[in-house]
């Protein structure tokens, strides 16, 4: 029986008693499973809480035919997060980021150890913070480093960032772009570590504009990317 560990990306009810869970696993990348008997019984084998968005879990699962989903046989937390699902602000951010990741991870497989390590380190860091209103923006920027379109600042004196080309520019682009104060904030975020975020103040309007720019950036560089439904709730939380 194979064993692996990874992050829950998505979970949905399947039929009356089961759940389909998609996980990003350290050894094989994205994989979906069936969890049986989690609904409709007084004593389910597994707690639904194991499968909250971006929980870090260890699983044993059955092998299956290529055209069928494997079954999760055993599950336990690798780490029990302290704040991610108890804070309204953080749980909203986590739901939002899991939606993004579900849209990014389209193909099963695609193991990427650096990406897995990034998820592990950044989510643990966020859990340990009292609060960090800019975490989701920095996370989305850093995620692009691992999926192939990290922003290229050609010259620090450039006035624009062309979202379509993924590069800074001296000439105002015809297509979507970032400029003025938003571009200066964008460059600051590129140059800092997660640990520096608590020292960076961004007002709510600038944060929302930056977030929308980054969503546009993802849409331009990822086929079939869908803007997350939870973005409206996220915007309300951080007003």
For residue 84, what pLDDT band results from cuts at 50, 70 and 90? very high
In three-state secondary structure terms, 90 is helix
Mean pLDDT (whole number) for 210-222: 96
Strand partners, 115: none
CB atoms within 10 A of CB 71: 15
Identify the structural domains of the chain with CATH numbers, from first to last.
1-80 (2.40.50.140), 82-239 (1.20.1440.120)
More confident residue, 68 or 167: 167
Q: What angle do CA 30, 151, 178 make, to 5 degrees?
A: 120
Cα 66 to Cα 33: distance, rounded to the nearest angstrom: 12
Residue % of the chain over a pLDDT of 70:
98
Q: What tokens does 147 get?
A: 């999926």
Residue % of the chain over a pLDDT of 90:
79
Cα 230 to Cα 117: distance, rounded to the nearest angstrom: 25
Model-level pTM? 0.95
Residue range 108-144, pLDDT digits in tens:
667 899 999 999 999 999 999 988 999 999 999 999 9
Cα 6 to Cα 119: distance, rounded to the nearest angstrom: 10
């Amino acid at each position: 029986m194979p064993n692996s560990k990874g992050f829950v990306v998505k979970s949905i009810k399947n039929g009356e008693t089961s759940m389909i869970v998609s996980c990003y696993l350290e050894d094989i990348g994205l994989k979906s499973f069936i969890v049986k008997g989690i609904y409709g019984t007084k004593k389910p084998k597994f707690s639904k809480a194991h499968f909250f968005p971006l929980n870090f879990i260890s699983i044993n699962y059955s092998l299956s035919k290529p055209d069928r989903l494997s079954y999760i046989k055993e599950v336990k937390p690798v780490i029990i997060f302290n704040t991610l699902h108890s804070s309204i602000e953080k749980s909203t951010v986590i739901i939002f980021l899991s939606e993004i990741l579900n849209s990014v991870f389209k193909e099963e497989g695609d193991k990427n150890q650096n990406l897995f390590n990034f998820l592990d380190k950044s989510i643990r860091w966020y859990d340990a913070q009292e609060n960090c209103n800019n975490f989701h923006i920095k996370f989305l920027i850093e995620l692009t480093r691992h999926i192939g379109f990290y922003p290229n600042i050609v010259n620090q004196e450039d006035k624009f960032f062309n979202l379509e080309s993924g590069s800074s520019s001296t000439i105002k682009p015809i297509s979507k772009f970032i400029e003025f104060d938003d571009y200066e904030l964008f460059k600051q975020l590129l140059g800092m570590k997660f640990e520096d975020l608590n020292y960076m103040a961004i007002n709510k309007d600038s944060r929302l504009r930056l977030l929308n720019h980054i969503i546009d950036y993802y849409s331009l560089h990822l086929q079939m990317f869908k803007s997350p439904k939870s973005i409206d709730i996220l915007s309300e939380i951080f007003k």
